[in-house]
Amino acid sequence: MGPPADDAGPGGADRRHMGHALRLGERNLGATGDNPAVGCVIVAERRGASLVVGRGWTAEGGRPHAERIALERAGDAARGATAYVTLEPCAHHGKTPPCADALVEAGVARVVSAMEDPDPRVAGRGHAILRAAGIAVEVGLLGDAARRSHAGFVSRITRARPHVLVKLAVSADGKIAAREGEATAITGEAARARTHLMRARSDAIMVGRRTAEIDDPLLTCRLPGLEHRSPVRVVMAANAGLDPASRLVRSARDVALWVAVADDAPGAACSALSGAGAEIVPCPRDEKGALSLPAVLTALADRGIGRLMVEGGAALAGAVVAQGFADEVALFTAPASLGPDGVDALGGVALETVTASQDFALLEEERYGEDRLALYGRQ
């Protein structure tokens, strides 16, 4: 997900430092609550050499912000230095004073910002504060990389829904299970570890009730050292029919579990789930009687979810793609085929809707043993 590393040519040093800031910010993707995962690098000129005197990235939980951490580490060396920030410094008073004011007070001479903050409380005001204090401000360096890094935050602010990543693990013939109702291991251990990293970088992970029933998953991150970075688990269960004995419900007091239910879901079933520690998220039904996907996504955004990972099953993933809510699709493909009885990856939606569509572009390709990961992004 990182930016280009090439620092040759005019402005190459600026690109290198901004690339550094972007990589720092991405360390806490999925762990900063409703705040963006920002990175900041402070660079001072000393005897003709550029020295990094402060580095920071938004802390887990969203505070302190990256700029304040970097300034504290830089100390007096920040005076006259350049600050590289992956998002416009905040300009509003929240739980902490504005980061734009902190940069002014620290005496930095120049701020290079990758992009303007779309939050109406900021939206250029942070840059204006800096310019009014006589600080040179440049905006837009590695902007495309920054917009991808901050995609969840931007989507929540501008579209009132999360940025959605659909993760699929399919056989060579495009199946996700050997037959209906049967859990099937598709990819190898290395690919599964990559999936767990995706979970750690997401605010929430979503599955349908049928997948929860068949697979009885935990949906946690189980990478050593990142277990605490498990995302909120979300289950689409219109009638609140999630088994209280499932591993999801039994672990609800340890890792957040939200159950999206219909407005008219049975009260007793909802009470049983909330009594076990799950949070009930009521949403309207669509014209077919299923949960309204747009309403669910809005409800998640309202609760601070910026990055949502959809893991299944086929009907849910297919609906997300068909209704135009899939911003990215991570397609893991294993070498073996499952045959004609297998379950199609997207239900009634052709996989070519992603792989051979003008709506999606291939962004990255990776190999994990015999498995291949192709990451597609909506154009």
- Binding-site residue ranges: 65, 90, 99, 169, 199, 211, 215, 219, 222, 311, 313-319
Nearest CA to 81 among 136, 128, 126?
Answer: 136
Nearest CA to 39 among 81, 72, 70, 6?
Answer: 70
Active-site pick, 26, 67, 88, 328: 67
| Annotated binding-site residue numbers for NADP(+) | 169, 199, 211, 215, 313-319
Decide if 67 is catalytic: yes
The C-alpha angle 234, 240, 241, rounded to 5 degrees, equals 105
Distances (CA, A) of 187 to 184, 203, 231, 336: 9, 24, 22, 9
Q: What is the dihedral of CA 66, 35, 168, 184, to 10 degrees?
A: 100
Please state at what angle helix 293-302 crosses helix 151-159, rounded to 10 degrees. 110
Euclidean distance between CA atoms 127 and 217, whole angstroms: 46
Q: What token pair was written down for 166?
A: 């659909």
Q: What token pair was written down for 13?
A: 């040093």
- Measure CA 60 to chain center: 14
| Annotated binding-site residue numbers for Zn(2+) | 65, 90, 99
CB 70 within 8 A of CB 61: no
Give Cβ neighbours of residue 186 (< 8 Å, ≥ 6 apart).
169, 170, 171, 176, 332, 334
Residues with a catalytic annotation lie at: 67
